[in-house]
Amino acid sequence: MEQKYKPLFESFTFPNGVEVKNRIVMAPMTHSSSNDDGTVTDAELEYYARRSEGAGMVITACIYVSPNGKGFPGEFAGDSDAMIPGLTRLAETIKSKGAKAILQIFHGGRRVPPALVPNGDVVSASAVAATESPDVVPRELKHEEIEAIIRDFGETTRRAAVAGFDGVEIHGANTYLLQQFYSPHSNRRNDQWGGDIDRRLTFPLAVVDEVKRAAAEHAKGPFLVGYRFSPEEPETPGLTMEDTFRLLDELAQKDLDYLHVSLFDFRSKPARGADDSKTRLEWIAERVAGRVPVIGVGSIHSADDAIEAQQTGIPLVAIGRVLLTDPDWVQKVEEGREDEIQSRLSLSSQKKLVIPDGLWHMLTAREGWLSFTD
């Protein structure tokens, strides 16, 4: 490989002792290819097997922890022990290719389609509709329901440990339930779960504590617990970089194994709460200051992009879309064949790329997310 790319291929050891073979992570991406009952399909196993040989760590698509948290058609479930056999096969598939297997766990909150949850009962921190779906007004969760969802995160962590995963990633990003509790846009409560910034932090931090408790109790060896977050929201009121700095400070005290920032473009600049003298990723790396490893992501297509992102001060970089168009991205860079990387999706390549039907339909229908060739 070219000398300048060598930093991407150095091994990395997390604070708890888990070692990955390189600094490249497969980003979590929705694939909508599970069975209707939430169990893992053979098509999903083939999809992950095709993409797990190069990256040091693979973070799966999100898995819902509660029946009313299902956010996508064809999403796999983590809300019952009946899911453990399929999850075991998934963990084994990823690990057999040499990557660490991380299960992303989440609850969609107000962002779930009513048709996907029992009785169409969409819930959130408060009865405030999302900007993206103004016609769906969620029901405000009761105290005992909040505590039950916290326990559900712990139970899904237990199932991940039993299934043999190397860790879990708590999905606190992309305006899903954990972010909904932290955001002043979606949390208008005035009880222990909302109000000022300290109380809005209560739910996400309680989930972190419960997940770490379950991991310590049920994992048979070192087990990673990460947290994904989105740094800003466009709404007013909404999360700003200043709010994110506070969240990072709190998470850094929780002995998490990593933080994973959710960005569409790692070069993007702050809108509010920090000046634009640095990118969001640079501000985050500066604030974390090495207390917790950070995974950066967002429009990393080429090896040069990956190096540029790493040079902001973060040790790990996640790639997503380019692993859809070229599952051999990591191997090509390592072998000095980066000029052979396919960054566009051929409309005749579904079988060759091992992309399940559900995901294929999503990719070909979503304008502007990928570039296509005939």
pTM of the shown model: 0.98
Q: What is the pLDDT, as a whole number, of residue 374?
A: 66
CATH of 3-343, one of 3.40.50.170, 3.20.20.70, 1.10.3470.10, 3.40.605.10: 3.20.20.70
Asked if pLDDT for residue 297 goes beyond 80, the answer is yes
Q: Which of 48, 64, 176, 227 is catalytic?
A: 176
Mean residue pLDDT across the chain: 97
- Residue 176 among the catalytic residues: yes
Distance CA 281, CA 283 (A): 5
Distance CA 49, CA 151 (A): 31
Asked if pLDDT for residue 289 goes beyond 70, the answer is yes
Q: What is the pLDDT, as a whole number, of residue 305?
A: 97
Count Cα atoms within 13 angstroms, Cβ side, for 286: 9
Closest CA to 142 of 126, 153, 155: 126
Domain ranges within the chain, ordered by starting residue: 3-343
Task: Decide: 264 and 232 in contact? Cβ < 8 Å.
Answer: no
Three-class SS state of 88? helix
pLDDT band at 372 (very low <50, low <70, confident <90, very high): confident
Distance CA 10, CA 101 (A): 19
